[in-house]
Structure 1
């Protein structure tokens, strides 16, 4: 026979192929890939089966170090796993879901351990840690079981208790040949089934009692509610698994116990409608009777009664038992907490009475910036609503102090009044750019529209948890309960969509329609620009620079980070500074005496209380800001933006940010007042380099803003039109922003 020539490709084959698969769920994929890419991966290859554009874009940042397999947006997890496995060269496969994680150093350690295993082992079982929005890196209950099993390879029938390990496919590493032999059965959307089936099909298994996987538990409230078919699939899962275990007494007994436990838990906790619950109970009962092991003895006490009733199919008796237990717990709870909890007193008798009346389909409640007045996205939506759906009556929630500043004829309520609670109780539509109070009840048939008030650079929602300065005083559980009331969340760009899903995980639908407040940047003409400047007293031909810094969590108050008098002096008499403090701070932005002369001559205008801010943007030739979200809105105008970032490192460390503004700024960056002055007194603020940076920034962050956002939102939410029939978002090259002040003066 001819001599066998070694295959050099096979010699270079990695020990382990890590197959990352799935959509970029709530933006967890970037952290997973970054962690994998941050440390040496000796003996390991990484294949990313990226489902959809977002996952592909994230994965391609790590090419060519990682192999990227782009898959269409509708591809399921099973198809993604199969696609990744088909490209894998490793002798072992580790499937990692895009929402999950891998502890530092785990892949090389797993790869090294597989080299010590005999060829008879098909599955290596790993320990894992658990993470949620509340905490990360919590130990799993699997560690002690794995430790008791030891590191020697063994047959499942000799250690059937291993079936009690958490059914995570990510905590099983599969021999590539074993996967290919059973791929048809293991390729399923039901990952727990695949995790159990891998153990049942393996000739021998081995254990590594060290955490090598991170199971990230997504909020139940952020996931689509299970359909009846998905509920029944739990019973079908165990029916199939018990079939695989036929004739294996010990394995069958453990699986049966797991089946009964899971079915009873789902039945008790899932909150299924009665018809679905009845059918689920019936199917579980049939399976329980069919597969009941001979001589099985139920545990003593209430648990034994529950199991007996399930096997009997006694649905009515089981419900009666539940009702009795609930009543007993209710009595105990009442004794502990008293007759009334203090929190319930927030709901007045009038509010409870109004909740008993029907929802008014022609009533909408609007609020902006904690009831400050008619402003921001809610104001733009209300204006378009009056045009497209005049039958819907808007009522604004405004503080008593702000009521005097409302436009004439604005119907409004003051918080805490009787009518305030009545309209909140009866309105079909509730629109806000922050959140309504915790006491507001989400009624069936009511629609809560969250418009937000900016594109996030700084961390928001749950992403504030690691930053004490930002998280101080926040009740995140209460925040999530408010978020769970959202039906729709408005977004101006795909970056915001991802960040809102990550920071506010709930079942809300993202409206990728653009920010309605930014429509004016495309609908305003020369007359509107000239009028905005005239109202501010800006003479024709003078350059207006809007200075709008943001709030800092680590500062108690607001003072300008610039010497405004010195800056104005260097910029000269032809430049007007429009100074706007963040809305968190009351009063004038610049009260010091040295600025009085500049105010008298019109070279500095305090616009901290000026509304709407969109008029300030229309009037300004350029924007100077630090980390404020105004930069994302102003970019729609395609006018110069200068970033003054004298404390970037401090801000980034204390507040947390989603991207590096210094690397992706919309224009020149100044790290000091001297640098800012140099930029504004030369051509650097509006030269070709600045324009190039602004173009890239606009393309990324003005993605959906085209002048028709309010129309899309009103048609989708208030008129119920299909998203496919809405006015499409115009490509950015086809949009015409409002004219610059210079263009408006010339027209």
Structure 2
């Protein structure tokens, strides 16, 4: 009996089934069987190309989705069922990951709720809104009514994995062509539901113009769907209240979407109104604002007043947008005028503007360059561009400007040197006698620049023509190794000169001494003799927020009292609710997401655990153990694109599951001879120019005009001495 049966079902609409099956065939599926309930000849032909690896259940043209799911489920032998419509997709490696996860679930769980990505006819692998909610529910076992918030997740069968015995026990109710009904009903019927915040399904929305028009009866059926679901939830007050709220929002969304013929719209409103009023829970409170007014008018059944409110609200929003737009245009025009005037003046050879990470503060290689500039060329005055929110966090005495202000545009216009680890805004003019220095902020594993174009999840909303205009302003591009030099030339094709000098931010890994390492650990509260493991995952383009891919509480417990787990979320997720809040209160880990600089954390850590973050390349300079946790490598590689196979060229041992990671960290495998050998090869390749003097080389070359031959030579790797490890300083 396999662990998981993937039931692919439906017609080969717009040939999406072919791509889905080819993807499944190209990746090992682990303890999984694939059954294709192929509707029509085209689907059957596509499926039969993958026999005997996949089982094929041919069905006639026109067979309904419910019949196809039932036929596939009847053939399935797995302990768990995962339904995938032929138009949708499964992220690379997802079935294997799901099978591994379900194998570890406790017996009572009936439904595993997973995250998903969204695609349309013009975009792909966009994040779903469900990740944070799933992350909050992950690892919990609650009574049925306590999981009511999960009813707010997207109603798909594909983001639910069913215990086969549960599905067959309720097949009569769940086997329906109304997929959202089945998705909601499954959560209401299950005794236990588990949540897993990992994308394991791709929901593809077809172009509406390619589909049959929605009939009036299908619109009216929406009301009937919720009538039945509310009957199922009648003995669960919390679930009933949440489902009622979901229902009303669905009604209003359907009505507001437009496109309904007037008689259909009027009748739909009438039916929705009766249900909303009759089913309203006792004591239910409407939200404030326009949404509350809409709900009130719906319950009153006042179709003319609702239409009038819609019209008035749209007009009001249009007026407000225009007023705001006029104000922004006036301010922008004033700033442009001031900038043009400043550009007419001379360039100041003693003025340098620095910025890092989209104006977050004094950080990364720009900070290291500015510090070295103060030693070697103190006559050049540095000004930092910092957002208003971060200005209060600057070191005392830091001269800075806030974006958009008058002085901001004046210093950008007059500065001889502009240094950034990202890009300055499009409006910045490249003056002929100004120097733009691009430091970057890491060695690239993932695709960057123009290389993102084939990957819609990464390229969404990206103006590549504007990117090239920004790149054309660069005079110099800093690189830490040959790999980076070549990839920057490929991803950012322009005339800039590559400075193969190392990353200045990494100098500290060779200049720090035992006192500095001890001081950082003391600030973090790490007692002498305790092992510190830094967990620093990267951002994923197909996730809307940060959802930890590890059960951090369980990991901290397994590592024991003698290990401190330092957890650093990616800076893209600043300002969002942290999933670490509850764990911080337990004292089982230290949340260092807001701690700067990150180089201090690396100095404090005995080992690094990461996935695909560029921190691995920097940390390798310390020659300390690195462990890769790559539970979604296939998905990440497929959706973001990578420059090399990390699984083959990792800086240390690779764990594909939490259990494997725990095994590595609770034995000596994280720092054994095999790990040291992999790390040595990685360091030779990626720590090529980092030797502790990168900032000096950059300053002398760019600011002092020294030629390459007169710069301090890069010290060979075998002659370098990294900062002492915590064990050595204890």
Unaligned runs of 5+ in 1: 1-340
1:267 aligned partner: none
Structural mapping, 1:604-683, within 5 Å: 604-683=589-668
1:743 aligned partner: 728
Query: Does the alignment pair 1:714 with 2:688?
Result: no
d(CA) in 2 for partners of 1:683 and 1:342?
Answer: 64
Contact 1:590 1:606 in 2 (8 A): no
1:697 aligned partner: 682
d(CA) in 1 for partners of 2:577 and 2:538?
Answer: 12
| TM-aligned CA distance change 1:483 to 1:568, over 3 Å | same
1:469 aligned partner: 457
For each residue in 1:613-639, what CA deviation from the matched residue of structure 2 results, as whole angstroms up to 9, or x when unmatched? 000000000000000000000000000
d(CA) in 1 for partners of 2:452 and 2:579?
Answer: 32
Q: Which has the larger radius of gyration?
A: 1
2:537 aligned partner: 549
For residue 526 of structure 1, the aligned residue among 501, 511, 514 is 514
Query: Does the alignment pair 1:498 with 2:483?
Result: no
d(CA) in 2 for partners of 1:652 and 1:591?
Answer: 25
Structural mapping, 1:442-521, within 5 Å: 442-521=430-509
Structural mapping, 1:229-244, within 5 Å: none
Query: Does the alignment pair 1:561 with 2:549?
Result: yes
d(CA) in 2 for partners of 1:677 and 1:542?
Answer: 18
For each residue in 1:71-130, what CA deviation from the matched residue of structure 2 results, as whole angstroms up to 9, or x when unmatched? xxxxxxxxxxxxxxxxxxxxxxxxxxxxxxxxxxxxxxxxxxxxxxxxxxxxxxxxxxxx
Contact 2:545 2:576 in 1 (8 A): no
d(CA) in 2 for partners of 1:620 and 1:495?
Answer: 26
Contact 1:559 1:589 in 2 (8 A): no
Query: Does the alignment pair 1:729 with 2:714?
Result: yes
d(CA) in 2 for partners of 1:403 and 1:365?
Answer: 15
Structural mapping, 1:64-213, within 5 Å: none
1:171 aligned partner: none
Query: Does the alignment pair 1:441 with 2:426?
Result: no
- Secondary structure of the residue aligned to 1:361 is strand
d(CA) in 1 for partners of 2:584 and 2:544?
Answer: 25
- Secondary structure of the residue aligned to 2:690 is coil
d(CA) in 2 for partners of 1:622 and 1:588?
Answer: 27
d(CA) in 1 for partners of 2:538 and 2:639?
Answer: 14
For residue 581 of structure 1, the aligned residue among 555, 558, 569 is 569
d(CA) in 2 for partners of 1:520 and 1:713?
Answer: 15
d(CA) in 1 for partners of 2:330 and 2:406?
Answer: 20
d(CA) in 2 for partners of 1:392 and 1:594?
Answer: 47
- Secondary structure of the residue aligned to 2:571 is coil
Structural mapping, 1:238-637, within 5 Å: 345=333, 348-587=336-575, 590-591=578-579, 594-599=582-587, 603-637=588-622
| TM-aligned CA distance change 1:480 to 1:699, over 3 Å | same
Contact 2:628 2:652 in 1 (8 A): yes
Unaligned runs of 5+ in 2: 1-328
d(CA) in 2 for partners of 1:593 and 1:528?
Answer: 29
d(CA) in 2 for partners of 1:628 and 1:343?
Answer: 39
Q: CA deviation at 1:486?
A: 0.1
1:688 aligned partner: 673
* Deviant stretches of 4+, over 6 Å: 341-344
1:58 aligned partner: none
CA RMSD across the alignment: 1.5
Contact 1:522 1:738 in 2 (8 A): yes
| TM-aligned CA distance change 1:451 to 1:589, over 3 Å | farther
For each residue in 1:386-430, what CA deviation from the matched residue of structure 2 results, as whole angstroms up to 9, or x when unmatched? 000000000000001100000000000000000000000000000
- Secondary structure of the residue aligned to 1:584 is helix
| TM-aligned CA distance change 1:428 to 1:657, over 3 Å | same
The structure showing larger relative contact order (alpha-carbon pairs under 8 Å, at least 6 residues apart) is 2
For each residue in 1:128-153, what CA deviation from the matched residue of structure 2 results, as whole angstroms up to 9, or x when unmatched? xxxxxxxxxxxxxxxxxxxxxxxxxx
- Secondary structure of the residue aligned to 1:348 is helix
Q: CA deviation at 1:591?
A: 3.7
- Secondary structure of the residue aligned to 2:366 is helix
For each residue in 1:488-533, what CA deviation from the matched residue of structure 2 results, as whole angstroms up to 9, or x when unmatched? 0000000000000000000000000000000000000000000010
2:27 aligned partner: none
d(CA) in 1 for partners of 2:358 and 2:612?
Answer: 22
Q: CA deviation at 1:544?
A: 0.3
d(CA) in 2 for partners of 1:655 and 1:591?
Answer: 24
- Secondary structure of the residue aligned to 1:541 is coil
Q: CA deviation at 1:590?
A: 4.8
- Secondary structure of the residue aligned to 1:623 is strand
d(CA) in 1 for partners of 2:499 and 2:388?
Answer: 32
Q: CA deviation at 1:433?
A: 0.2
d(CA) in 1 for partners of 2:396 and 2:331?
Answer: 37
d(CA) in 1 for partners of 2:349 and 2:573?
Answer: 37
Q: CA deviation at 1:440?
A: 0.3
Contact 2:584 2:591 in 1 (8 A): no
| TM-aligned CA distance change 1:466 to 1:440, over 3 Å | same
- Secondary structure of the residue aligned to 2:644 is coil
For each residue in 1:181-239, what CA deviation from the matched residue of structure 2 results, as whole angstroms up to 9, or x when unmatched? xxxxxxxxxxxxxxxxxxxxxxxxxxxxxxxxxxxxxxxxxxxxxxxxxxxxxxxxxxx
d(CA) in 2 for partners of 1:346 and 1:680?
Answer: 58
| TM-aligned CA distance change 1:584 to 1:477, over 3 Å | same
d(CA) in 2 for partners of 1:550 and 1:420?
Answer: 31
| TM-aligned CA distance change 1:449 to 1:592, over 3 Å | closer
| TM-aligned CA distance change 1:546 to 1:451, over 3 Å | same
- Secondary structure of the residue aligned to 1:743 is helix
Please, what TM-score do these two structures have when normalized by structure 2?
0.54
| TM-aligned CA distance change 1:596 to 1:358, over 3 Å | closer
Contact 1:580 1:589 in 2 (8 A): no
| TM-aligned CA distance change 1:346 to 1:616, over 3 Å | farther
Q: CA deviation at 1:350?
A: 1.1
| TM-aligned CA distance change 1:661 to 1:589, over 3 Å | farther
Please, what TM-score do these two structures have when normalized by structure 1?
0.53
Contact 1:350 1:418 in 2 (8 A): yes
Contact 1:347 1:439 in 2 (8 A): no
Contact 2:535 2:610 in 1 (8 A): yes
Q: CA deviation at 1:587?
A: 4.2
d(CA) in 1 for partners of 2:515 and 2:685?
Answer: 29
